[in-house]
Amino acid sequence: MNPDFSDEFNGTELDKSKWLDHHPTSKGRPRGLFMPSQVSISDGFLHVIGEKMEKDTVVGNVTFSKKSWCCGIKKIAQFGCFTSILKAPYPPIDNPEINK
């Protein structure tokens, strides 16, 4: 296991020396604005939450109606196998038929 790409999430907040709680070049996808507030750590788990905003937010020319998240590693990995276990929501936050 490479410690640069591994984390047990045992702290109370994301290890910012290793992880990003935002996307460095993107504000989000249509409807979903990447927000650091949607990323948290507790009980040994990384929690990422997508939810509807109380009021639409416009950034540039894009209107966002959902709070979304983006979390990534700071180091660059060119080759390897990455494993994660996650529980994804249903319906997906960006499903246009369900989340109008």
The string of pLDDT tens digits covering residues 33-81 is: 999 999 999 988 888 888 899 999 999 899 999 999 888 888 887 777 7
First to last CA, the chain: 42
Q: Which amino acid is at 91?
A: P
The residue length of the chain stands at: 100
Q: Is residue 37 part of a domain?
A: yes
By residue range, what is the domain housing residue 68? Answer: 3-73
The predicted model scores a pTM of 0.75
Q: Categorize the per-residue pLDDT at 83 as very low, low, confident or very high, splitting at 50, 70 and 90.
A: confident
User: How many domains is the chain partitioned into structurally?
Assistant: 1
Q: Is residue 21 part of a domain?
A: yes
Q: Is residue 38 part of a domain?
A: yes
- For residue 7, give both structure tokens: 């984390």
Q: Is residue 93 part of a domain?
A: no
Among the listed residues 95, 75, 78, 90, the one whose alpha carbon sits nearest the alpha carbon of residue 30? 95
